[in-house]
């Protein structure tokens, strides 16, 4: 197979660069007046390819608002200039036409994709013939011509559809009994054509215009794709030659842009570091008026330093400016908030402490000990964050707040004394059950033994949580599964009973049940994906006749996966019934 992999990124860059090409005979937009800019944007509404002038339209818009408002950005005013309304009307009409034109292109690309898929399928059908005669070759030639005459497809599909076409074209030439004379003539013709393409590609590097060099290379790649294959002996060599010429051209172009990006990256890094320093000033908590003045002086120095680094590319420059503005606004907000907070700080502290006292009093009799304890801890943390104020007001509020906290925690302590007694009782009962299971000896009736285990599980679930509950629950579950494992049952029956025991023990724990359900659903989804993968693999054996051990193995794997899915679904039903 020829290694003709055309980079999607290069195709996309080519289209983007074609967008920004501006005819040298056009009006010098930078020198145009407001009225001339309106005429220019009006002329765009009748353009036969609105996408090709997208960048130019944005430039006209930016210059219009710059000349109208004295800035490159639009300024919101209560009274809108009549010329701005006229400009906006034509600009919106142009945008509408551009969107419609893009939809039209996408529709045509979708149609072309379906045509090319049909061509591939027809070539694929030709390869299934036992003997290829001259008429078959003519039909193949007709399909090649139809392919070449079919328009472009979307960038996302372009490389994939070409790879499929190239694959089945090579299969047609290499593996079927094709008329040798016709094939050799075609191979020779294609080799001559591809050699000419290589020569033209090698000469492109001498061009001074990088855009022209890149555009011509893309045209040569397109011409290469539309040229048929060559004989096996020459195939790799001619492709390597063309690939090497392409690599040198792309390297020359990439090196140019990398140098620009490298310089811009350094500027962006410096500007971002300055923004970071301003952000640090914005987060500084001023303790005095003097500290605030020192920060303002430092901020002015950083602003001048940021502007001294100059501009970068249009796209990145806009991002840098937005980031700088955010940092500046953040600093000024911090400064303004500091002076406002000095006046309101004392009032806010008193109000906050009073609110915390009221909340503490409301929940002092709440016996949801765990939740309420967390609330009190949170209230105490919030109290510390409110800050300190001198005087009797602070002392009285603190005594009130502390009294509510002390009353609750004293009541909780008394409750847990009684609760610990009950937990120890439950622990003793669980220990007795665990000991009974550990010493259990199987009988000659496995079903009776299983029922015995289930009864003990029900007894276990009725007991309340006890100290070291996790460890003893784990030991009980393992003991029950060990008893079931030793019963005289089939392996699958043992596994089912183990799952039922586990389901019984977690039936009071919704979180654990949901977790088990999620695990089973993920396993089912994984099994289904494996089935889809095996089904796709089967398609490679469709044309083969007779027995195929590999195909039989795939069928067995699919059958086993369906059985496993059935068992998993049964387990899921058990969990849903709990």
Give how far the C-alpha of residue 560 lies from the chain's centroid of Cα atoms, to the nearest Å: 34
Helix (H) or strand (E) holding 10: helix 8-19
- Which pair of tokens denotes residue 262? 């490298």
The label of the residue with tokens 């059958």 reads 559
CB 2 within 8 A of CB 229: yes
- List the end-to-end C-alpha distance of the chain, in Å, as a whole number: 59
Q: Taking the alpha carbons of 31, 33, 39, 41 in that order, is the dihedral positive or negative?
A: positive
Percent of the chain with pLDDT over 90: 1
pLDDT at 72: 42
Domain ranges of the chain: 7-153, 179-342, 506-578
CB 441 within 8 A of CB 487: no
- Nearest 5°: the CA angle 352, 357, 361 is 150
Q: What is the CA radius of gyration of the chain?
A: 39
Q: Which residues of the chain have pLDDT under 70?
A: 1-27, 70-80, 128-134, 175-182, 342, 418-422, 464-469, 541-546
- HSE at residue 95, side-chain half, CA atoms within 13 A, is 8
CB 170 within 8 A of CB 230: no
Whether this prediction's pTM lies above 0.85 is answered by no
pLDDT at 575: 78
Q: Measured between alpha carbons, how far is 53 from 426 in angstroms, rounded to an integer?
A: 81
11: nearest Cα among 109, 94, 98, 104: 109
pLDDT at 109: 85
516-532 pLDDT, tens per residue? 889 888 988 998 998 88
Assign residue 70 a region (left: φ > 0; alpha: ψ between -120 and 50; beta: otherwise): left
- Which pair of tokens denotes residue 435? 């000991």
Q: How far is CA 71 from CA 63, 154, 490, in A?
A: 9, 38, 83
């Amino acid at each position: 197979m020829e290694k003709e992999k055309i980079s999607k990124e290069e195709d996309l860059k080519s289209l983007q660069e074609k967008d920004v090409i501006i005819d040298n005979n056009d009006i010098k937009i930078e020198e145009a007046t407001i009225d001339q800019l309106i005429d220019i944007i009006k002329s765009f509404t009748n353009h036969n390819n609105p996408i090709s002038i997208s960048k130019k339209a944005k430039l006209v818009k930016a210059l219009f608002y710059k000349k109208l408002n004295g800035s490159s950005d639009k300024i919101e005013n209560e009274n809108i200039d009549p010329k701005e309304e006229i400009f906006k009307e034509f600009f919106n009409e142009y945008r509408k036409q551009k969107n419609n034109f893009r939809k039209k292109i996408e529709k045509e690309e979708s149609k072309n994709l379906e045509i090319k898929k049909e061509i591939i399928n027809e070539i694929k059908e030709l390869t299934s013939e036992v003997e290829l005669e001259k008429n078959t070759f003519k039909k193949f030639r007709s399909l090649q011509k139809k392919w070449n005459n079919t328009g472009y497809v979307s960038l996302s599909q372009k490389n994939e559809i070409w790879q499929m076409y190239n694959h089945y074209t090579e299969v047609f030439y290499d593996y079927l009994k094709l008329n040798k004379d016709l094939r050799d003539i075609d191979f020779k013709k294609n080799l001559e054509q591809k050699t000419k393409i290589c020569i033209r590609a090698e000469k492109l590097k001498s061009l001074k215009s990088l855009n022209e060099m890149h555009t011509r290379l893309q045209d040569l790649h397109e011409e290469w794709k539309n040229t048929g294959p060559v004989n096996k002996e020459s195939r790799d060599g001619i492709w390597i030659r063309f690939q090497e010429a392409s690599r040198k051209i792309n390297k020359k172009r990439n090196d140019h842009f990398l140098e620009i990006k490298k310089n811009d990256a350094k500027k962006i890094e410096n500007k971002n570091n300055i923004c970071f320093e301003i952000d640090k000033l914005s987060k500084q908590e001023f303790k005095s008026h003097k500290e605030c003045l020192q920060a303002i002086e430092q901020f002015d120095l950083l602003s001048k330093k940021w502007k001294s680094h100059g501009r970068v590319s249009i796209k990145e420059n806009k991002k840098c400016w937005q980031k700088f503005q955010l940092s500046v606004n953040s600093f000024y907000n911090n400064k303004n908030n500091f002076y406002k907070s000095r006046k309101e700080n004392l009032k806010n502290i008193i109000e906050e402490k009073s609110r915390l006292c009221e909340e503490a009093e409301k929940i002092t009799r709440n016996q949801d000990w765990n939740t309420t304890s967390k609330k009190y801890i949170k209230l105490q943390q919030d109290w510390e964050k409110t800050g300190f104020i001198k005087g009797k007001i602070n002392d009285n509020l603190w005594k009130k707040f502390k009294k509510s906290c002390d009353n609750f925690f004293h009541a909780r302590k008394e409750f847990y004394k009684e609760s610990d007694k009950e937990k120890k009782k439950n622990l003793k009962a669980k220990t007795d059950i665990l000991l009974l299971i550990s010493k259990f000896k199987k009988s000659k009736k496995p079903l009776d033994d299983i029922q015995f285990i289930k009864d003990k599980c029900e007894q276990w679930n009725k007991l309340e949580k006890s100290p070291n509950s996790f460890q003893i629950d784990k030991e009980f579950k393992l003991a029950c599964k060990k008893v079931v494992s030793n019963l005289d049952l089939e392996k699958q029956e043992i596994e089912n009973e183990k799952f039922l025991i586990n389901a019984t023990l977690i039936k009071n724990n919704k979180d654990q049940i949901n977790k088990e359900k999620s695990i089973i659903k993920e396993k089912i989804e994984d099994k289904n994906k494996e089935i889809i993968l095996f089904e796709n693999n089967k398609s490679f054996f469709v044309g083969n006749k007779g027995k195929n051990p590999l195909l039989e193995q795939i069928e067995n794997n699919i059958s086993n996966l369906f059985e496993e899915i059935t068992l998993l679904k049964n387990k899921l039903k058990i969990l849903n019934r709990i």
